[in-house]
Structure 1
Amino acid sequence: MAVLKVIEVLSNSNESWEDAARNAVKHAAKSVKNIRSAYIHEQSAIVNGDNITEFRVNVKITFEVN
């Protein structure tokens, strides 16, 4: 039986929500091993005038605890 733990990571990108999610996983992987999944909990954007200038995600990352 595996023991899994979930952490929440907030991330952003100037490019896309997809890129923000990738950034969250890359950053978490620096200190967390055995990442199994990433669930995009929330998405938001910063708007300046009529342009989106920043994409933000709240990611729940699941990993196996040894």
Structure 2
Amino acid sequence: MSVYKVIELVGTSEKSWEDAAQQAVAKARSSLRELRIVEVNKLDIKLDDQGNIAAYRARLNVSFKYDS
């Protein structure tokens, strides 16, 4: 029997939503063990003062095996 924990992460990128998600997963992979599922919950865009795209953001739920 296994138990998994789910956390929320927000990745950002100046390139794309896909890159933002990849940035978040890469960071999670570097500090968490046994990642299982990543679910994209929300995509949004941060705008600068002139209304131009400053960053793409991807909000993710990441699950990993929980060791107690």
Relative to the length of structure 1, the TM-score reads 0.86
Residue 65 of structure 1 aligns to which amino acid in structure 2? Y
Aligned residues: 66
What is the aligned-residue RMSD (CA, Å)?
A: 1.5
Alpha-carbon distance in 2 for matches of 1:5, 1:35:
10
Q: Which residue of 2 aligns with 1:2?
A: 2
SS in 1 for 2:25: helix
Residue 4 of structure 1 aligns to which amino acid in structure 2? Y
Where in structure 2 are there 5+ consecutive unaligned residues?
A: none
Q: Which residue of 2 aligns with 1:41?
A: 41
Runs (4+) off by over 4 Å: none
1:30 positional shift = 1.4
Deviation sequence 1:17-64 (CA, Å, 0-9, x none): 111001001001111010011111111102344642210111100111
Residue 58 of structure 1 aligns to which amino acid in structure 2? R
Identity across matched positions, percent: 33
Relative to the length of structure 2, the TM-score reads 0.83
Q: Which residue of 1 aligns with 2:54?
A: 53
SS in 1 for 2:32: coil
Q: Which residue of 2 aligns with 1:64?
A: 65
Name whichever of 11-20 and 51-60 sits farther off. 51-60
Q: Which residue of 2 aligns with 1:12?
A: 12
